[in-house]
Amino acid sequence: MTWQPRLGALPAAIEGQIYSTSPFRVTDVRLHVEGIDADNHRVGERFAWAIGDIAPGGETSYVVETIAGAVAYRVTVMSFDVVSVGQKLSPTELIPR
């Protein structure tokens, strides 16, 4: 995942890219964004959704308001839903639920 300031955005925001190395198409990707200050302390958090589905090996973007006092951000995936398999898997590659 990447992030950068979103220039000219009101309110101020960061935008980033999410890259998938999964063989699955996923949707409803929920993100946890933590703002980090110059002393490497967490100064706040936001939650965001990735835009649209992510195809196997694909990418998408996200946008979230900036966090006051943050000079860096830590973005993690909290959850997602599998939509479909992007390539044919053998039975030994399937994971039972």
Q: Domain locations in the chain? A: 4-84
Provide CATH code, domain 4-84: 2.60.40
Beta carbons of 30 and 46 less than 8 angstroms apart: no
Q: How far apart are CA 75 and CA 95, in angstroms?
A: 27
Give the pTM. 0.77
pLDDT along the chain (97 residues), means of 10: 72 90 91 97 97 91 94 94 69 41
